[in-house]
Amino acid sequence: MKTRDVKSAQTGTTLVVTLITAGVLGLVLGSYLSMTSQENLSVKRSQAWNAALPLAEAGIEEGCSHVSATNIYITDGWTFDTNAFSFNKTRVLGDGYYSVNINGWAGGVISITSTGFEPWAGSNYISRTVQITARTPTPYFPSGLIANTINFGGTFHADSFDSRTNLYSTNGQYDPKKATDHALIASPSLVGFALGGTADVAGYVTSQGGLVTSSGSTSVGDFSWVKSKTKGIQPGHFTNNFAVIFPPVMAPYGAGTAGVKSLAAGTTGGTTYDYMLGGGFYYSSNLAATAYGGTMFVARDSVLVVTGAVSLSQITFNPTNGARLSLFFGNPTVTFAASLVNATTGQFWVYALPSCTFMKITGGNFMGVIYAPGMDLEAEGGASIQGAILARSFQCTGNFDFHSDDAAGATDAKPFAILSWAEL
């Protein structure tokens, strides 16, 4: 008779059940630990995500503070990227850091982009980016004629007007019947300068530390002094404390910068122009579309960077909206002979990049502001300038008139202002 080993069977069943139970418990525990780990990482990521935004905003704040405090952006640890045309800075704060860059130029509309980085898993960082556009203050724009070296040859006359009001201008244009005696001829040089020949300045002369001397039939003073042909400088019309720093011009962008347009021809009002500027940012390797000088129409506020040769016969500004043009020259030598149609001083601003070291103005009336601290400027006889000039040196030959626009210096009052804010 055979007997069954019941005890062994029960023991085997118990072992199987125990193993299954242990497996289930292990699986549950593993899942729980995995879930806990993922939840922990999720919490860390969420915390890093929240912390990255204040870092980005801290970069925006530093950028705003920087452009509000100085016109020379490449200071205080900021560097310039020649490829991206931006001023950059990185700062570590705690476990994270931010990287911020400024695109644009002092006196114009800039963009400040800041990215905050916060660690969340070992060497992994999470980032958030904020970008603003802002209008920068413009305290360096010249008011008058300013140059380190000044040489007046032939017959030179200077007076002033104010394009903002018809009391001292006619529709924004210089009117000799409404002229004022506020012209400023200034040099930041320590050695001063000399006025000779036939020169009369209805206004003031100043230098940083040297003397301004006069010879020949030179006359400097108010209208009554100048019109009476009194020689010399009227008392109270000379000072020697003109200590002003003018930063160099930096290119606001390059050919490959996002959003920058290429020039093209266009037609408006039945007239075809070689270059049509419809507003925004433009770049061109040259302005030599035609052999005898191209024509340009400025329909809306535009910025144009030109690195090569320039041949322009006429620039026409939209008469209906006061469109402005900021024109950056980069060619080593520029001859400007274009006539300006529908223009006033505030609508046309010329900047000379460091590579542009000489410019000649020939014939006609130039209306605008020239900001070129590293450029030698020469005006030929028969030319006149309405507006303001800042150059390394200024020389005129033949008969030359300078009409200083009081409105040019008024840009000093334009405050810093944030125009837009967005998280990218």
Query: Within this chain, do residues 210 and 352 fall inside the same structural domain, yes or no?
Result: yes
| Distance of alpha carbon 387 from alpha carbon 227, whole angstroms | 22
Q: Is residue 5 situated within a structural domain? A: no
Range of the domain at 124: 10-136
Query: Within this chain, do residues 129 and 153 fall inside the same structural domain, yes or no?
Result: no
DSSP structural state of residue 136: P
Q: Is residue 420 situated within a structural domain? A: no
Query: Which residue's structure tokens are 């274009």?
Result: 338
Query: Within this chain, do residues 151 and 126 fall inside the same structural domain, yes or no?
Result: no
| Distance of alpha carbon 363 from alpha carbon 399, whole angstroms | 11
Q: Is residue 3 situated within a structural domain? A: no
Query: Within this chain, do residues 180 and 306 fall inside the same structural domain, yes or no?
Result: yes
DSSP structural state of residue 415: -
Residue 26 is predicted with a pLDDT of: 65
Query: Within this chain, do residues 344 and 214 fall inside the same structural domain, yes or no?
Result: yes
| pLDDT block averages, 10 residues each, the chain of length 424 | 53 66 66 61 80 94 90 85 87 94 81 93 88 76 86 87 94 94 91 83 91 85 93 91 80 81 93 93 88 87 92 94 92 93 89 94 86 92 87 89 85 72 91
Domain end residue (candidates: 96, 112, 136): 136
Residue 31 is predicted with a pLDDT of: 64
Query: Within this chain, do residues 353 and 216 fall inside the same structural domain, yes or no?
Result: yes
Domain end residue (candidates: 103, 136, 169): 136
Query: Within this chain, do residues 56 and 194 fall inside the same structural domain, yes or no?
Result: no
Q: DSSP readout, 201-252? A: EEEEEEESSS-EEE-TT-EEESHHHHHTT--EE-TTSEES------PPP--S
Angle at 11 between CA 8 and CA 12, to 5 degrees: 90
Residue 364 is predicted with a pLDDT of: 76
Query: Within this chain, do residues 201 and 315 fall inside the same structural domain, yes or no?
Result: yes
Domain end residue (candidates: 136, 171, 203): 136
Query: Within this chain, do residues 221 and 321 fall inside the same structural domain, yes or no?
Result: yes
Tokens standing for residue 29: 């525990």
Residue 145 is predicted with a pLDDT of: 94
Domain count, the chain: 2
Q: Is residue 262 situated within a structural domain? A: yes
pTM of the model: 0.77
Query: Within this chain, do residues 246 and 352 fall inside the same structural domain, yes or no?
Result: yes
Q: Is residue 424 situated within a structural domain? A: no
Query: Within this chain, do residues 386 and 239 fall inside the same structural domain, yes or no?
Result: yes
Q: Is residue 2 situated within a structural domain? A: no
Query: Within this chain, do residues 274 and 379 fall inside the same structural domain, yes or no?
Result: yes
| Distance of alpha carbon 193 from alpha carbon 187, whole angstroms | 7
Residue 197 is predicted with a pLDDT of: 75
Tokens standing for residue 381: 């006889």
Q: Is residue 394 situated within a structural domain? A: yes
